Structure 1
Amino acid sequence: MRISSRLAAKSRRRKQARPATKARNMSCRTATSCSSSLIPDGFELPFAQFATSKLIFYIMPMGMPEIRFRFSPEKARTALHWMLTQQSPLDLHTLLKACYFADKYHLNRHLRPIFGARYKAMNYGPVPLEIYELAKSEPLIIAELQDRIVPWELEGYRLKLKGNAAPNMDILSRSDILALEEGFSLSRSMNFTDRTAATHGRDWERANFGMMDYADMLDNGPDQSAKVRELRETARYAVL
């Protein structure tokens, strides 16, 4: 009887220690303040919020699809090649931030990026990972190119054009080219410090040195939530 009583008491203590509710299939992001601006744009109910003494936790269903596009190595190669025909050598910071500016420009106007790269928030701004690997001529990404050739060589942190071949601009749409021109012009007009500051926006901050979300790259506007929903539904099937 004594053993049974002790087991029953232990069971009651375990039940009391459990939270009243369980968040199943949920993920959370934390913030140091409870400002509603910290809630990712485009997220609507169901969206739970609870607080501790110092932190606010925003919880959303895990089933919400991630915005991921299929990377286009051919477009990325053409973009890097074209920029190097405009100026060579060029440092990686200028090139990679030009790709970011171009992707963001095109995303906000046509609801798709040019390249479909995965962006990581790094100390000196967003880095399109696949394009960075391509710039470095990493074998795995080079293998995705039809002819497995890149018309540049990396010297330290700069790319230098080699050969006289012209970039295959036919692979880019007119809107791609316009966005690339805008992105490259903007990136090239800045010094390293200003360029870094210009890329430390809301999308970069929310990533917290992790992978950036295309939803956060969208400009604020009355149709932002609808755009986010459309991206979550269609991005994985988009052909860039």
Structure 2
Amino acid sequence: MFEFTTDKDKAVHAALYVLKKVGNADYHKVFKILYFAEQFHLKSYGRPLTGDSYQAMPYGPVPSFLYDVFKAAEKGTSPFDEATERSGAFSVTRHGKMPIVKALMEPDLDELSESDLEALEFSINENGGLKFDELVKKSHDTAWDKAEKNLDIEMSYFDIAEAIGTSKEMLSYIELQAENSSIRLK
């Protein structure tokens, strides 16, 4: 399995962009909108939007770094300095069991390319109005299922792209992009 290097600033500003568009939201909604934006970007442009490592969790894919940032915002600390440093962009409060995320700053659009914004807008428009259960069902795609069945919590970007019917040519291009970026093969 290969993974792209996480662009941590882009991940934060992509989440800020989502929150600007949909308003305060729970972790789940933000994470699923970002996941589907990643898929769209992979299929359309052959590279992920943020490169964050997606984990196959019970309610669907979760971006690992951004999860750490949100938890740091909620708890005020993290064992990961990079997450703590970026957590000031968000506040997190709990309403019952659901942690609600609020953006404390505007997204820096210089951190997001035109294709990033296109993917985010597409995903917000398609998924922003979906309910929790609908997002769970939709995100339990073949990439999630494959990671879950193999007891491998980390999802492959190749599988994520393949799950939405990315062409063989684009899949080959994604593989080439992965080889040419800061990738570690597993």
1:139 partner SS:
coil
1:236 partner SS:
coil
CA 1:140–1:232: 2 relative to 1, 3 Å: same
CA distance in 1, matches of 2:17, 2:170: 32
CA distance in 1, matches of 2:147, 2:117: 28
Report how far residue 181 of structure 1 moved. Answer: 1.3
2:51 partner SS:
coil
Matching of residues 1-240 of structure 1 within 5 Å: 66-137=1-72, 139-141=78-80, 143-144=81-82, 148=86, 150-156=88-94, 157-162=99-104, 165-208=105-148, 210-218=153-161, 219-223=165-169, 226-227=172-173, 229-236=175-182
List alignment gaps of at least 5 residues for structure 2: none
Q: Which has the higher contact order (CA 8 A, sep 6+)?
A: 2
Question: 1:95–1:184: 8 Å Cα contact kept in structure 2?
Answer: no
Report how far residue 194 of structure 1 moved. Answer: 0.9
Report how far residue 115 of structure 1 moved. Answer: 0.8
Which range is displaced more, 192-201 or 129-138?
Answer: 129-138
TM-score w.r.t. the length of structure 1 is 0.63
Matched length: 169
Q: Partner letter of residue 236 of structure 1?
A: S
Report how far residue 75 of structure 1 moved. Answer: 0.7
Deviations 1:129-188 (A, max 9, x none): 1111112225355x337x7453321112110233xx432111111001111111222221
Question: 1:92–1:159: 8 Å Cα contact kept in structure 2?
Answer: yes
CA distance in 1, matches of 2:170, 2:11: 27
Percent identity, please: 27
CA 1:193–1:149: 2 relative to 1, 3 Å: closer
CA distance in 2, matches of 1:69, 1:140: 23
Question: 2:22–2:124: 8 Å Cα contact kept in structure 1?
Answer: no
Structure 1 runs of 4+ off > 6 angstroms?
none
List alignment gaps of at least 5 residues for structure 1: 1-65
TM-score w.r.t. the length of structure 2 is 0.80
| Root-mean-square deviation over aligned CA pairs | 2.3
Would you tell me which structure has more helix in proportion to its own residues?
2
